[in-house]
């Protein structure tokens, strides 16, 4: 895949500070490719982040409002980096199902998703589930998936100086 063939990149956003590195990687790639960028966040009412909140509750509406506000902030960051076409999508439902459906619905050539970090309670996927999910998305299609490693904490960074790219090079 050459940079000229990348016209649309989709980036899944988890919503917390841990998403910033993944979004930065997607913005960088979209910038280099001159591609449209779609940022998507899936709110799963049964997930750990929002508990078992009823969709009608004030707490759920507040959570959704914060998610929308966070997505608008990410859009401003992408536009400030020179990305002119930035779409936002806030979906509700099972994260795995919604991301699979998004892949089917989109014309994107690249899907960017952050790998699970060390705080397993905040991750939608366990490590094995994540790799299985990414393999399912890669199977038999034209979609290229990019896994972005979580940034190490300062202590780990000092212990691991192996370096390496944070995301695959497409260009």
User: With bands split at pLDDT 50, 70 and 90, how would you rate the model's confidence at 128?
Assistant: confident
Q: What is the pLDDT of residues 53-109, one digit of tens each?
A: 555 678 778 888 888 999 999 999 999 999 999 999 999 888 888 988 887 788 889
Residue of 106 and 156 predicted with greater confidence: 106
Write the CA distances from 33 to 8, 71, 102, 127, integer angstroms: 9, 22, 21, 30
Q: Indicate the SS3 state at residue 93.
A: coil
Tell whether the model's pLDDT for residue 136 goes beyond 90. no
- Partners of 145 in beta bridges: 111
Q: What is residue 51's predicted lDDT score, i.e. its pLDDT?
A: 53
Architecture field, domain 3-159: 3-Layer(aba) Sandwich (3.40)
Q: What is residue 79's predicted lDDT score, i.e. its pLDDT?
A: 96
Which of these ranges, 139-143, 145-149, 161-165, has the smallest mean pLDDT? 161-165
Q: What is residue 47's predicted lDDT score, i.e. its pLDDT?
A: 62
Residue 109: half-sphere exposure toward Cβ, Cα within 13 Å:
15
DSSP 78-101: HHHTT---EEEEEEES-HHHHHHH
Q: Where are the domains of the chain?
A: 3-159
Q: Indicate the SS3 state at residue 39.
A: strand
Give the chain's radius of gyration (CA, Å): 16
Q: What is residue 155's predicted lDDT score, i.e. its pLDDT?
A: 36
């Amino acid at each position: 895949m050459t940079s000229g063939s990348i016209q649309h990149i989709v980036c899944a956003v988890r919503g917390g500070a841990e998403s910033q590195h993944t979004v930065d990687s997607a913005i960088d790639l979209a910038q280099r490719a001159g591609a449209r960028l779609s940022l998507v966040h899936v709110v799963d009412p049964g997930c750990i982040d929002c508990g078992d909140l009823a969709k009608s509750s004030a707490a759920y509406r507040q959570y959704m409002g914060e998610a929308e506000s966070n997505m608008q902030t990410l859009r401003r960051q992408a536009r400030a980096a020179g990305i002119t076409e930035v779409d936002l999508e806030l979906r509700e439902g099972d994260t795995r199902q919604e991301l699979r459906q998004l892949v089917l619905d989109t014309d994107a050539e690249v899907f960017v998703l952050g790998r699970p970090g060390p705080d397993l309670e905040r991750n939608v996927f366990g490590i094995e589930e994540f790799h299985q999910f990414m393999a399912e998305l890669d199977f038999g299609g034209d979609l290229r998936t990019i896994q972005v490693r979580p940034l190490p904490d300062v202590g780990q960074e000092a212990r691991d100086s192996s370096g390496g790219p944070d995301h695959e090079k497409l260009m």
